[in-house]
Structure 1
Amino acid sequence: MKNGSAKLLSTFLGVCFAVAVVGYKPVIIVHGLFDGSKEFTYLVRLINQSHPGTRVSVIDLYDYTASLKALWKQVQGFRQAVLPIMQNAADGVHLICFSQGGLVCRGLLSTLPDHNVHSFISLSSPQAGQYGDTDYLRHVFPTFVKAHLYKACYNSIGQEVSICNYWNDPHHREQYVKHSEYLAVLNSERPNPNATVWKKNFLRIKKLVLIGGPDDGVITPWESSHFGFYNDNETIVDMKDQDVYVKDVFGLKTLDSRRDLVICVFPGVKHTKWHSDDKVYHDCIDKWLT
């Protein structure tokens, strides 16, 4: 009995020592439109339960209505917040970026030449843009419907509002390319002299995890969370048939060929529930936080 207890204690101490030595990489969480750090309490708890001792930082910037600020401004602010975390993490960090935050994180990863992000987890983010009437949209533009929002968005004033930075009207493609100061630049749909460098920066990540599903109710089309989007007939064009993939403008095709692109389609989850759904966490997020 004593020998058994001693072996059990030895095993337990060995596990504790291994965790202490190896540890887990810090996790940085970037929130989305109209929310803030407190919305991610449950996700932090899930991470701490499955990966004890993980340092989780929910960046408390541009919360709630401040999330309407232009995205390049947000990228600058978030950069100052995440750099010290990255610099203090010799083995690298993981990024979990929700909704609009996924686009902020793309800006960070593209413009940070020495980032050490391993897993970039894009949690229901409009990566290919947004084109749909939602409650979120009505809060900001109550008198516009999707067919006419380009009139408010595709000008210098509109581009001061975050939603307009990724409003992608498939019926006004030329105006989108001309006026979009964020998404069209990230996608090199507008001439971007930094495209080669940004691609190299983005490809420093070890894994890109794209999570979304058909019952989201906000990301429109929901396939945008996987880089799919409408053509001018509002028919979905799959990621692999999009120019950004075919031309590999910022590294999607390269990540896919490296087997470092993960697609997670999850039905039955509403937009505001992605970061508090146990099954989404355990099936789509947990394994990439080691």
Structure 2
Amino acid sequence: MSMGVHRWISFSILMCSLVYDIDAKTLTCKPVIIIHGILDGRSEMEDLTSRMEQTFPGAPVHVINLFNYMESLRPLWQQVGAIRRDIKSIMNSADNGVNIIGFSQGGLVARGIIQTMDDHNVDTFIALSSPLNGQYGGTSYFRWVFPNIVKRNFFKILYTRYGQRWSIANYWRDPHHLDGYRMYSSFLAQLNNESVVEYNSFRNSWKTNFLRLKRLVLVGGPDDGVITPWQSSQFGAFDSDENVVPMRNLQIYENDSFGLKTLDNAGNIVECVIPGVEHTKWHGDATVFHKCIEPFLCDSK
């Protein structure tokens, strides 16, 4: 056998193995649903979508095209209801389940869908720099919506029935006014089982639904610059002195208020901390994708 023929056979075997690997990844990839963040739209997720399509050719990727830009300021329960209806057919056609990626505010929307959807089939939920346990920081997003109010006074507007018409108010968690948070927060306090208002009462099924997740991936980092504290992306929160209390030291964890402790004890929570990433860069950062997203989307058997 000539050297040229030998090289051709070796090359052919290599190419076949690569094609087989791609096909294997494609065949074992669940559909992925991506929910964009506040003041974003579908187009801002194109970098993530493109990277996923290159890495997993043929894998179904669905980017939500609802509540774009200014519409993203609508109340979160309204967004949860509409997006839940929008993705119902995707879930119904996915016999092996789906994965969800929620960026920033979109992670809270995804969490709301998962907890309130009794028949969801979400396998992995990746929360990409999302204020899962609230926001307390006068970032550019807040200053854009409320330009003349400083952080310490936000509660005066946000903890009112009028203020709760804005999505931002639905997860504003002021550590100096937690009574107001428990009284007026119509979304986060309800999901956390912390609301003291009867019509915002927590439903037992929400804990059951949350625990149907096979994996929860919490992505965030110290240089985010928007999520405050950044540890909220991993369910941390400020105490009254604005010291960060990590997830496992909070009452919602200790009391297993909605299933966080149970999920953690089962080994189903992954914490992925990446320094040096600004808030608007998470969905386009190669390191974030390869370390915190790619390993959890497909089974490359």
TM range (shorter): over 0.9
Q: Aligned letter for 2:231? A: E
Matched, 1:162 2:167: yes
Counterparts in 2 of 1:34-183, with a 5 A limit? 34-183=39-188
5+ residue gaps, structure 2, are none
2:42–2:64 CA contact under 8 A, matched in 1: yes
Query: Which residues of structure 1 form unaligned runs of 5+?
Result: none
Q: Please say if residues 124 and 214 of structure 2, whose CA atoms lie closer than 8 Å, have aligned partners that are also in contact.
A: yes
**CA distance, structure 2, for counterparts of residue 16 and residue 211 of structure 1:** 26
Task: Give the Cα–Cα distance (whole angstroms) in 1 for the partners of residues 47 and 135 of structure 2.
Answer: 27
Correspondence for 1:212: 220
CA contact (8 A) 2:37 2:103 kept: yes
- Equivalent residue, structure 1, for 2:233: 225
1: distance between equivalents of 2:177 and 2:65? 35
Query: For the residues of structure 1 that align with 2:259 and 2:38, how far apart are their CA atoms?
Result: 26
TM normalised by structure 2 equals 0.91
Q: Is the 8 A contact 2:107 2:128 kept in 1?
A: yes
Q: Distance in 2 between matches of 1:195 and 1:149?
A: 29
Residue aligning to 2:193: 188
- Shift of residue 157 of structure 1? 0.6
Letter in 2 for 1:52: P
CA change 1:289–1:12 in 2 (3 A) is closer
Give the CA deviation at 1:140. 0.5
CA–CA distance in 2 between the matches of 1:130 and 1:67?
Answer: 16
| Alignment partner of 1:271 out of 271, 279, 291 | 279
Query: What is the RMSD computed on CA atoms of the aligned residues?
Result: 1.7
The amino acid of 1:182's aligned partner reads F
Give, in whole Å, the separation in 1 of the partners of 2:80 and 2:19: 43
> Following the alignment from structure 2 to structure 1, what is the Cα–Cα distance between the partners of residues 177 and 285?
36
Q: Structure 1 227/4 Cα, relative in aligned 2: closer, same or farther at 3 Å?
A: same
2:9 — aligned with what? 4
3-state SS of 2:213 partner: coil
Give 1:194 deviation, angstroms.
4.2
Q: Tell me how far apart the structure 2 counterparts of residues 281 and 10 of structure 1 sit (CA, whole Å).
A: 26
2:245 to 232, 237, 242: 237
